[in-house]
Structure 1
Amino acid sequence: MTATIEPSLSDVESAVRDTLAAHKSMYLATSGSDGPWVGGVYFAEADPSTLVLVLEERGRTLAAVRANPEVAVVVSTGSPMNPFLQARATAEVVEGDEDARVREVLVAKVPEAAPFLATPVRAVRLTVTSWRVTDLVKGWLPGKDFTA
């Protein structure tokens, strides 16, 4: 009989933090008046429960966020053999000093995002309550949950 060893909470949290740190972009799924939509976005993490990004001011993704702030994210290389994250989050368009901070944090992690900041974009903060981390190499299928 083979015993299954469950990962510790710190193992799962480390996997979430490491995966976030290893990626500059993610997929953001929204659902607005035009229906469901998925787009790729650059992001930076303030902590495991807070991600920041910018969206085109006149884009479909921002319109969907404004209509329905409940979103989903996938942080992945695109290969199921690499660790990947999934989560639901609440999106909030931010203004003023917080807008400036989002832009600063984003460019610090993703310098190539700087040209986007000169275009009509809005800063957005995502609040994640729980992550699902899947790592097939570690045998984490189904994925392991981490409450941020």
Structure 2
Amino acid sequence: MRNTLSAHKSLFLATSGSTGPWVGGVYFAETGEFTLNLVLEDRGRTLAAIRENPVVSVVVSTGSPMQPFLQAQALAEVVGAEEDARVRELLVAKVPEAAPFLSQPVTAVRLTVRKWRATDIANGLLPGVELPGPRLP
């Protein structure tokens, strides 16, 4: 799980709001195995959906089922002004090419993963293995 998270700069984020389900790709930086930090466009469909329904799904993958990949459900939280700078700092440290996005109207978001499902066909993890996260309220 740690290797897959650190090897990827982006993930697929699925949301569902009043306009229906939506999937987009976003850069992310992890702080621990169950916390992901990212920024989203202020006027984008993804952020609007999160504001309506903070339950999201993520896939960390190259897109090939033969490469190790992670899937999870998470709770999304728009971070306050005091944490915004930290999320941006973490993101640029991991993904320097994300810096231009930070000059645009974006909002920092933190995802708390409930549990990961790790799949690695080449190493015998099929079906995938569930890796529980911290208990959430």
Please confirm whether the aligned pair reaches a TM-score higher than 0.5, indicating the same fold.
yes
The Cα offsets for residues 122-145 of structure 1, whole Å up to 9 and x where unpaired, read as: 000000020000000011111011
Q: Structure 1 unaligned runs (5+)?
A: 1-15
* Aligned match of 1:68: 53
Paired with 1:90 and 1:146, the residues of 2 have a C-alpha distance of: 16
Shift in Å, 1:96: 1.5
User: Structure 1 residue runs of 4+, over 4 Å off?
Assistant: none
Paired with 1:138 and 1:67, the residues of 2 have a C-alpha distance of: 39
Q: Structure 2 unaligned runs (5+)?
A: none
Paired with 1:129 and 1:37, the residues of 2 have a C-alpha distance of: 20
Paired with 1:95 and 1:122, the residues of 2 have a C-alpha distance of: 9
Paired with 2:47 and 2:121, the residues of 1 have a C-alpha distance of: 33
Question: Of 68, 90, 93, which aligns to 1:108?
Answer: 93
Q: Is 1:83 the counterpart of 2:39 in the alignment?
A: no
Q: Which has the larger radius of gyration?
A: 1
Quick one: percent identity of the two aligned structures?
71
Paired with 2:91 and 2:99, the residues of 1 have a C-alpha distance of: 8
**What root-mean-square deviation, in Å, do the aligned CA atoms of Structure 1 and Structure 2 show?**
0.5
Shift in Å, 1:97: 1.9
* Count of residue pairs the alignment pairs up: 133
* Aligned match of 2:22: 37
Paired with 1:95 and 1:110, the residues of 2 have a C-alpha distance of: 22
